[in-house]
Each structure stands twice: as structure tokens, then as C-alpha cells.
Structure 1
């Protein structure tokens, strides 16, 4: 009997085996003889030991985004400036309250309701816009917000009654308050966890710059041009920003453009993209007329399956264990900013005899402190992320997003938050006692600077961690965070003056510091159980998807 040649064909999973077309049909069947050849088709795990011991080729994850670092900085800065309008609008109006009350012939108590109503809607309305932006895109949400915001400011500038003023202030808040949540979503779209620290610190600046610069600008405008001119100023600034968004700000939502390489629908494209694509189509049509092969010039974006139930995503996120603890503690930290900012006009006019313009200048050291926090906490978060990665033997690539399911991201972030948090506790206590003892204004300004540095740094870390925990729903998670943050801020703004009257500034601000300490177990639980909660959540969502 003649010796037969045996050929083993190894079939890897998801790999096709191509059989030459001239091979007889009988030879294409596994383990059957055809002439002098035996073809044996087997699976990869049944191959010889030498093949089994061959190490698999490690797949390199794709780049997280197509944008270069300088492009990402410009995008984040544009989003941060857009977010500035939300906090700016709330505070720029404060120096004009007494003037507006006299002009409209209402009491100071009634005119203060225009501030309270603004803050309440500032916390509630982003839950709707956040869910929409996570599915339909950031650009449509931004454009709609700023268009309606301009309309609201024009109406406020022409307002001649108390009813129209409070109604339009509510509408103004509803239109612009979502921009802070949108800004968080933009950072999550284009920045990996390894580099998110520096960008998240940028977007924390508007939260403090608004309360710091708003009263100074608003006071000067109200004094020289009248309180209605404040809203003309806001409308003009919003219109300029809207033009930048229309012409230059790209769509970043990963459900719409992926890593940025997918061309979105026209409604999500910038004017520059539309012009560039029209030129490409024209060049393609000219080329097609000279060649037989048509040229495809653009990619069509996947259809966005948007459901109205997505509006409620933020409410669902409020019930998640890890996020709820972060929202609660971060909200109290943020409320400390309002505890200081709200009491400044009354305390400094009573203790130091400052007028409205000088009171506005007191906010500037806090703005400077927040700017310093950008450099410090951003680098700190990135450094600590790399440190934990080295301990786990994981190589950090800033251009690619690492799966954080087995990475202690909670510990890596909160370790950075502890020093500025302790600083905030000490300084806010010292701030109260300094005012009670009427120390030099220079000392108070230094304390305000340190307070801005500590509180904004801590808030930046929490914002980054929220984006890391819920990367696919950052817009909705940020909106849910705003619900707690601004409601607690509104409560603190309402409670701080009665508290100061009852126990004086020293004890009042010491109570706030004690609250920070009493609620600190929230952070311990997040560090200790956060990774397990994330794994349970992913398993649950995987089961829901399979069903």
C-alpha cells in the first residue's frame, strides 16, 4: 500500500480556510482520502504542543481619538468657556438686585426669589439635556441652548415688570444651565483616563470664575449703564460664542462620531466641515467624469436611535451606589463655595464698610486660586494614575483608553483629593474666625485664595472620577451631579446667613468643616467597594443586553 501524504489544516476561531478551487470535491471533506492526500481539519486547541505553546499576538487597542493634543485643548477650552455662562449668569446679576428692586417697585425679599428660582432650575433642567446630548450629540444641544439663552437675555433686557423678570430668569436658567454637564461630556469624549486630569481641571475653573468675576462685571455695568445692560452684555457674549460653536466646534459624542473619524450628519457638522465636504464632492465629481471608477468621499454616520426615556437616565444614575456617594459628598464640597460667596456682600459691608464694587473685588483671589488648581490637581491626577498603573504592571498610553474594570481608579483619584480637601476644611474654618475677629483684609484675601485652590481642586477630582465610573453616560452623570450640587448649593446659600446670625461667622464655618469630616466615610466606601460595584453593574448591564 502506497504511503499517503497527510495535511493538517488548523482552523482558528473566526478565521476562514480557503480551499483551492481546483481541488476535487472529495478532498474538501475532512479526514477523507483523495488520491495520495489526507486532509485533516482540526481546531487550534487540538494542534501539537509546539503550536499551543506559541504566545498569542497581543492586539493593540485603537487610538481613543483622532484629535491631536493641541486640538483637544482648544475643544476643551471652548467647552469650558461655554460652561462659564451657567455660573456667570447666576452671579453677575447679584450687584444689581437693589437697583432692580427699586426700579420695579418690589421688596428685596421678592427680588431675591429671582436668584433662588435660577439656582433650583440650574440643578434640575440639565437632566433632560444631558440624556439628549449623550445620544443625539453635543453640537445640537449646545446650539439650541445658546439660541434660547440669547432670546431669554433679550427678553430680560426689555423686562418692565416683576412677573416677567422672574419668569424670564427661570427660562434663562433652563436654557444655559446644561452647558456644565455638556462640558463634562466633551472631556469624556476626547480624553482618556490617563490624561483626563488636566482637562477636568480646566472645566472646573468656570464654576469658580463665574462667581468670582460675575459680581465685579455686573456691579460695574449696573453702576454706569443700568441693570438691564447686564443682560444685553450677556446676549452679546453668548452670540459671539454661538458663532464660534457654529463655525469651529466639532461634534465629539462617541455615539455619533466614534473616535472623531466618522463624518456625522449635516446637523452635527460645523460650517467649516460643510464647506470642506462640498469642495471634496466637487473634486470627486470632476474626477469621476474623467474616470470610470466612482470615488466615495464621505462616511455616513450611524443612525442615532434616540428615545425620550433617555431624558430620565440622570434620575436612574442618582440611585447607583457609587455615584450617589460621590454626588452627595461632592455636592457638600461645592456648597462650601456658595457658603462663602453668598455671605461675602453682607459680611464685608457690615464689618469693613465695603461698597458693591469693593465687595466684588474680594471674589478675585478665589478666581486666582482656581486657576492655580488647574496646574496642580491636573498634573497630580495624571501622576497618580501612572503610579498605580506601574504598581499593576500596566503600560500607560495616553492615546488609548484602558479598560478600568480591574483598575483601582477610585483610589487613584481620591488620594489626590485628600490634600486639597484637608486644606479646604482648615481654611474655611480660619475664614470664619478671621471675619469674626475683623483681621486685616490682606489676611482674608489670602484665605480666599487658598479656599479657591482647595475647593476647586477637590471638585475637579470628583468630576474626573464621575467620568471614569460612567464613561458612556458622562453627560447624564454630570447632569445628575448638578441636581445634587446646585440643590445643596441653593440650600447652603439660604441657610448661611441665618446660621451666621445665630452663632457668628467663626462657629458657622466651623460647622461646615465638621460636616466635611462627618461625611468622609462616603469616600472610604467608594475607595473600598467602588471597583466591586462597577463590576456588578457591568455584569448586570451585560445580562440586560443579552435579554
Structure 2
């Protein structure tokens, strides 16, 4: 057994006990006291804060050829900067998420934007490949944490039964990044040069970071509970501080009575990276994370190789290449509306079938509810559809038959692949309700590390066997590993109940041992 195993078991037993205590005292308190309009505003705010990560990644694609020529390096070396970007995109959120689950969402948000701002200034003025590589890693570290923080904010504000309804709001920025990034990057690179891309990101992050500093409140349930508990002064927005100072006696600032029992007990982690990896110790979570990573790898293989393929096969310039990325991004954006409705409808259908009562603004207890079936019934068809569209895209591009056909299959691939991945991301949060940001960070860790490998091998693979066979290989790999999802669909609920029963037995044994100890032994153990 690993030296970490006893610590992990004790921590999970503690988590389970805390969860049981909190669920009992929170039965009367609403899950969130934040009004509906304010919820939507906060989710949109966090969604557009998360925009910087996919935007910084995709805005780079149309300028790959121009950067390689200007720095006098090969396209393969520029693709290596994409690989490193993805590696740090996987590692950094583990640190950010673990801290945010304990100390709040707001301080990590501000830190991420400051790091991102400084990295973009450096990228705009650097003139060497080593500097480009290092600063891209720093840029990724600053931007990637915002994705995990955005998903965690949704978990802070919305119950599982409502989460699908808010997906369109919460993920709008993440899906706009791949849609708008290549178009903006293509226009800036063509008319102003590739350095203008990074100056644009400097302006965007500076303005939006200032907006977060002024208006973003704290939502972490370890700090403010269901939103009724005032956060510490250092965790408040400038708007909250100004409002409480200037209009202290105004009735408009009155809040509900603080429900301190809704605060989640803070748990310190010794190592944030291990905290993210701990999520994958359970078989159910590991299978979801592995397949989600493979799905994202196929997505990154398409995105990173599209620019050189279009340039070599059609002779397109950076503007035309950027426009060709647009259908994929639009497909990703529209998938959120389709998926959100389907997830909520299927959740309600399964809740009725499994006799789970749904109460508005109350978190559902999933102890006796098969959430795996509720989510994967929607996910699995999207997975197989994305494989079919990916194969069609690869062979149409290789045959150079029609640009319209390429655009259509890019849209369909973006729609189905993004829907499948978002649904898996939702399921990971559902089965890790106490640490949503850490769960998303673990998901990010798997997908980015696997995606980095896919980017590294995509171009050599395409050069060797062609884009058609490469797309077929990626789709075939997803089909071969799809039994991972079927295993979770069929056995995930049973695994989750088994873990809960083992934790209960462990907690009971520890309680019996504590009762059997003499007073002297108890004081010594303490």
C-alpha cells in the first residue's frame, strides 16, 4: 500500500462525516440566498473570466506560421510551445483549486489575472524562442486556473438539479474562446503582426481584471456558506466595501440572517497537486477522467493542426485560417444550450423514476440516486456522434473536395465533442460535491496532459499517414476506450455506495476505538 493511503482514507472518512453533519443541519436552509438575477450575473462574470484560458490558446493558432518565420524556427518547435502551454494548463489549476476550496474564490482570481497580465506583456516584447517558451508557460499558469474557479462558482450557487440550466451561462466564455480566438488572432496577425495578439490580451486582461477587483464577490461555501455569511474584509469586493461604508444604514444593504451552519468545514491539503490527483483514486472518477482526457486530446489534435493543413492544402492566409476555426467554436457554443436542457430534463426524468423528490433551491442527496445514469445517458450518444464527425472531417479535408463540407463537419465535431466533454465535467463535480474546484482541476490535469501529448504527435502522424487516417485513428481510439463510460454507467453507482459504506465502517471503528480508550490514553492521543 502507498504511504499516502492511510492519510487518504482518514481524509475521506472525515469528508464523509462532515458531509453528513452539514446535510442534516442544512435541510431547512436554502442552498443559496443569492437572487436568481445575481446568480446569472455572477456565472456570466466568472464565465467571461474563464475566457482568457481558451482565448489565449486559440488566438495563437492562426499566427503559428508567422511566428515560426519571424523567429526562424520550425512549425514543430512552435507546436512544442502549445504542448508546454497544455502541460502547465493541467498543472496550475490543481494549486489554484485546492486553495480556492479552502480560502475562497476571489483571491485566486485576482492572482491569476495579475500573472496572466505580466506574461502577456513579456510575450509582446520578447524576440527569442526560449523567451516565447517560458512566457507561454507562465501565461498558461495564470489563465488556466480561471476555468476551475468558474466551475466551482457554479457549484457554489446552483444545486445539481439546476446545474444543467446554468451551463449556457457558466460556459459561455469558455466556448467563445475557441470561436472568437482564431478570428481575432488572424485579423491582428494579418494587419498588425503577431505581437499585436499579445497586446490585445494585455488590454483585455487588464480591463476585465479591474472589473473583477471591483465587482466579484466571494461565493466559496467554506467562507460564506449559502451566501448569507459575510466574508472577511480581505475577501470582499471593492463595491461591497464601498457600499457597506457609504450606505451602512441603508435598508437596501440588509441581508438574510447569517446561516453559519451552511459553511463547509475547511480542510487543509499538504500538497495541492496531490489533492487534485486524489480525485482519480476512485475507479469511477479515474475512468471518467481518462476518457475525458482522450476526448480532449482529439479536440486539440484538430485545433493545432488545422492552420498548417489549410495553409498547405488551400494556400490560405491568416485571416482565412482564422475564419475557418469559427465553425468549430460556434458548434462548441451552441452545444451548451442543447446539453443544458437535455441534462436537466434527464435529471428530472431519472429523479421521478428513482423516487427522488426535487426541491427548488435545495441540494439533492445523491446517496440513493444513480447520478451516473442521469448524466451518461446524454453523454454517450454525443461521444459516438463526435467520433463519426471527426472521421468525416479528416477524409473531406484530405480529399480537398469542398471547403463547405470541411466547415460543416468542423461545426458538428465542435458541437458533439464539447457537449460530451461538458457533461463529463458536470459528472465529476456531481460525485465530488465537497471539493468542486479540486475535482475540476483533476479533470483539467488529465485532459491537458493527454492533450499535450496529442499535440506533440499530431503533426508527425499526419505527415506520415495523412489527415484522413489520423482522424480515423483518433476516433477509433475513443471507440476502443468508450467501455470506460459504459463501466461507470453500469457499475458507478454501486462503486460509490461501496465507498460510502467502507467509510462509514471506518468511522464507526474509529469511534468505537475512541470510546474504548482510557482517559489517560485519550489525552495522550490528543
Query: Shorter-chain-normalised TM-score: which range?
Result: 0.7 to 0.9
More divergent stretch after superposition (512-521 vs 152-161): 152-161
The answer for the alignment partner of 2:405 in structure 1 is 443
What pairs up with 1:231-250 in 2 under 5 angstroms?
231-250=198-217
The answer for the alignment partner of 1:196 in structure 2 is 163
42, 51, 74: which one aligns with 1:84? 51
What pairs up with 1:140-179 in 2 under 5 angstroms?
140-179=107-146
Query: For the structure 1 residues 113 and 334, does the alpha-carbon distance in structure 2 shift closer, same or farther, using more than 3 Å as the test?
Result: closer
Following TM superposition, by how much is the alpha carbon of 1:304 offset from its aligned partner in structure 2, in angstroms?
A: 5.4
Query: Where in structure 1 are there 5+ consecutive unaligned residues?
Result: 1-58, 285-295
User: Is 2:82 the counterpart of 1:120?
Assistant: no
What pairs up with 1:464-483 in 2 under 5 angstroms?
464-483=426-445
Following TM superposition, by how much is the alpha carbon of 1:475 offset from its aligned partner in structure 2, in angstroms?
A: 0.6
The answer for the alignment partner of 1:375 in structure 2 is 337
464, 479, 495: which one aligns with 1:502? 464
Secondary structure in 2 matching 1:132: helix
CA RMSD of aligned residues (A): 2.6
The answer for the alignment partner of 1:95 in structure 2 is 62
Partners in 2 of 1:283 and 1:298 — Cα distance? 18
Following TM superposition, by how much is the alpha carbon of 1:313 offset from its aligned partner in structure 2, in angstroms?
A: 1.0
The structure carrying a bigger helix percent of its residues is: 2
What pairs up with 1:530-545 in 2 under 5 angstroms?
530-541=492-503, 543=506
User: Is 2:38 the counterpart of 1:71?
Assistant: yes
Following TM superposition, by how much is the alpha carbon of 1:311 offset from its aligned partner in structure 2, in angstroms?
A: 5.1
Following TM superposition, by how much is the alpha carbon of 1:222 offset from its aligned partner in structure 2, in angstroms?
A: 2.0
Following TM superposition, by how much is the alpha carbon of 1:207 offset from its aligned partner in structure 2, in angstroms?
A: 4.4
Partners in 1 of 2:397 and 2:33 — Cα distance? 51
360, 366, 382: which one aligns with 1:398? 360
Following TM superposition, by how much is the alpha carbon of 1:514 offset from its aligned partner in structure 2, in angstroms?
A: 1.5
Following TM superposition, by how much is the alpha carbon of 1:107 offset from its aligned partner in structure 2, in angstroms?
A: 4.5
The answer for the alignment partner of 1:428 in structure 2 is 390
TM-score (norm 1): 0.82
Partners in 2 of 1:402 and 1:299 — Cα distance? 19
What pairs up with 1:182-261 in 2 under 5 angstroms?
182-261=149-228
User: Is 2:241 the counterpart of 1:274?
Assistant: yes
The answer for the alignment partner of 1:28 in structure 2 is none
What is the number of equivalent residue pairs in this alignment? 479
Tell me the alpha carbon deviations over residues 318-349 of structure 1, each in whole angstroms, 9 at most, x when there is no partner: 22211111001111111221121122112222
The answer for the alignment partner of 1:360 in structure 2 is 322
By relative contact order (CA 8 Å, sep 6+), the higher-ranking structure is 2
Tell me the alpha carbon deviations over residues 134-172 of structure 1, each in whole angstroms, 9 at most, x when there is no partner: 101000110111012111112222223333322222111
Partners in 1 of 2:365 and 2:79 — Cα distance? 48
Secondary structure in 1 matching 2:51: helix
The answer for the alignment partner of 2:290 in structure 1 is 328
Structure with higher Rg: it is 1
Following TM superposition, by how much is the alpha carbon of 1:434 offset from its aligned partner in structure 2, in angstroms?
A: 1.2
What pairs up with 1:291-370 in 2 under 5 angstroms?
306-310=268-272, 312-370=274-332
Query: For the structure 1 residues 101 and 349, does the alpha-carbon distance in structure 2 shift closer, same or farther, using more than 3 Å as the test?
Result: closer
Query: For the structure 1 residues 544 and 207, does the alpha-carbon distance in structure 2 shift closer, same or farther, using more than 3 Å as the test?
Result: farther
The answer for the alignment partner of 2:3 in structure 1 is none
Following TM superposition, by how much is the alpha carbon of 1:415 offset from its aligned partner in structure 2, in angstroms?
A: 0.3
